[in-house]
Structure 1
Amino acid sequence: MKKLYINLFVLITSVVIFSCDRERHFYDGPSLVQFANSSSDYFVQSTNNEFEVLVGLTAAASESKTFDIVVVDSLSTAEEGVHFTLESQQITFGAGETLASLSVTGNFDALADGSRTVVFALQDNPDAASFRQTFELNLIQFCEYDQDFLVGEYTVNSEFWGFSYPVNVVAGADEFTYVIEGLYDIGVPNAQDITFVINQVGEIEYTATVETQVAFDANTPVFAADYGPLSVTGTGAVNTCGEFALNLTFTVGAGSFGSYSEVLIKN
């Protein structure tokens, strides 16, 4: 029986050692260049913070190596010199190194009209890997949440009324509550300020909620009949750089006028 245990131990040990040997794998091929990732988001702040695009080698360089990187204009919506700048369009690996980076600086103000995308490509060369030869960078204007910044004068583009006009946004009962002064004070009776709450739904994502509340009286002569108090309720998207896109449903006792978009942009 003792001999059986010894033989069994030797067998198990041999299997474990063999398995470990099979799991060991060391790359011994050529040093090839590729982007470390295929894509990423770059949240550009008012400080015009930099973003480092990482480029790697499959094996450490035996000597200094330099590679060219180009912007693929046909696949990009961001324009170099307008939405971003590059410190250089070359990257260099020193001897023994496997990582280098391309420095990109976004233009915060130029991204006010929406996010942009830039696609980079490694210039054709004999040391190119067969994978990750392009990299897509999404440039997104971003502001830290700050109620003191978000309050102030706005212009509302009202789908309900069909024109734009100024309003004022002030702080509400807490740091996530806001009051829109004058949103419907444009000649309708009993116009009320509208309160909404900002909700944090992710690390940098926010939404808005408008609980049901009376906005004004929908009576003649503005409306065809005296419908009485009109209430609004809805949700919306929040851009912490100063934009609220509220989708509101307008309802009176007789029924609903439907849903409309009210977009507030900070002046």
Structure 2
Amino acid sequence: MKKLFIGCIAVIAVLMGLAGCDSERTTYEGPNYLMFSDTLYRYAVQETGEVFNVPVSATVPVDYDRTFAVEVVDSISDAVEGKHYKLLSNTVTIKAGECAANVQVQGIYDNIGINDYLTVGLRLIIPKEEQWSLYGIDSKVVLQKACPFDINSFTGYCKVTSTFFNDYMQNVTMRLIKTEVNPEKENSVILHDLYYKGYDIVLDFDRKNLLEPLVNMEEQVCGNTSEAFGTIYGDGNLLMYQPTMYTSYYSSCENFVLQYVTIYVDGVGTVGTYVNILEWISDAEAEKLKEQGY
């Protein structure tokens, strides 16, 4: 993916063979080229209907407005115009004295599926002499649905399945637990009795990037070695943390969390790395599970 710093100056060379420590600033003084500022963009489509700006840049400013067409390239698109998105204008104008403008795209929230990863291929219609072969004239815009986030959707009854159960809780296939909002931290919940009764776990939801809905967890005690292994190891505490080498995430569209955890005993060693799947369910669904013995 190329990255251009939008502006009227484009650095295209490094001065070589400079005498002593002196150097001069090198600026672009070549032909005028037009291009998308990047070859790929990802946008989170929300129900609030935000308009996304796809930047276009020029290598040099001129003293007149430059208006040119933008077309959708079907061969590199799987999003459908008018169904999944709107192209708000088929033209873009870089005003006199400026080097940047935006093509505007608006996603249609209701028509994008939870797991859709839809691409809009865009192309600038410009004269051949204004096309820079180094960068081309195309760009892709990827649209992904981002459902509204409500921390309360991750409270109440929760189904827990874990690969840890297979190794050390062999008579357990699923646990039904209760969760509540953490009163001491924003966007955080308390998972009561996650693995073992009496051992609660705090789980945090990262809201910085809508396209990367991650969960985080500090190291915590999740049980004791007597209950897990039938004997005491180390200080008796079974510790859990979230390894950074794997991605743990949540879905606000489907109200679930997929989390990797590593379990170890301090001073003894690592038990293993496991996958937890947490699924929040309704009270009615929970009552049915209770009737089945969960």
Write the distance in 1 (CA, Å) between the matches of 2:237 and 2:184. 26
> TM-score, length-normalised on structure 1?
0.60
Q: 1:151 to 1:46 in 2, by over 3 A?
A: farther
Residue number in structure 1 paired with 2:155: 151
Residue number in structure 2 paired with 1:180: 191
Which one has the largest radius of gyration? Answer: 1
Residue number in structure 1 paired with 2:20: none
Give runs of aligned pairs for residues 223-262 of structure 1, distance below 5 A: 226-227=230-231, 231-235=238-242, 237-239=248-250, 241=252, 242-250=255-263, 257-262=271-276
List per-residue Cα deviations over 1:20-76 (Å, max 9, x = no partner): xx979796855x4311334444233342322111224455485773313224654x6
Are the equivalent residues in 2 in contact too, given 1:144–1:240 (CA < 8 A)? no
Deviation at 1:85, TM superposition (A): 0.7
Q: 1:120 to 1:191 in 2, by over 3 A?
A: same
Q: 1:138 to 1:174 in 2, by over 3 A?
A: farther
Write the distance in 1 (CA, Å) between the matches of 2:239 and 2:26. 65
Gaps of 5+ in 2: 1-23, 167-172, 282-294
Give runs of aligned pairs for residues 9-158 of structure 1, distance below 5 A: 29=31, 32-58=33-59, 59-60=61-62, 62=64, 65-71=67-73, 73-74=75-76, 79-80=79-80, 84-88=84-88, 90-93=90-93, 96=96, 99-106=100-107, 110=112, 112-113=114-115, 118-123=120-125, 125-126=127-128, 128-130=130-132, 131-142=135-146, 147-158=151-162
List per-residue Cα deviations over 1:106-155 (Å, max 9, x = no partner): 35574633766554333575364213523244545557876445434444
Are the equivalent residues in 1 in contact too, given 2:51–2:104 (CA < 8 A)? yes
Q: Which moved more, 1:50-59 or 1:65-74?
A: 65-74
Are 1:195 and 2:196 matched, yes or no?
Answer: no
Q: 1:247 to 1:95 in 2, by over 3 A?
A: closer
Aligned residue for 1:160, secondary structure, equals: helix
- What is the aligned-residue RMSD (CA, Å)? 4.7
Write the distance in 2 (CA, Å) between the matches of 1:156 and 1:123. 53
Are the equivalent residues in 2 in contact too, given 1:234–1:246 (CA < 8 A)? no
List per-residue Cα deviations over 1:69-104 (Å, max 9, x = no partner): 224654x6x633599412257224387475443222
> TM-score, length-normalised on structure 2?
0.56
Aligned residue for 1:209, secondary structure, equals: coil
Q: 1:29 to 1:209 in 2, by over 3 A?
A: same
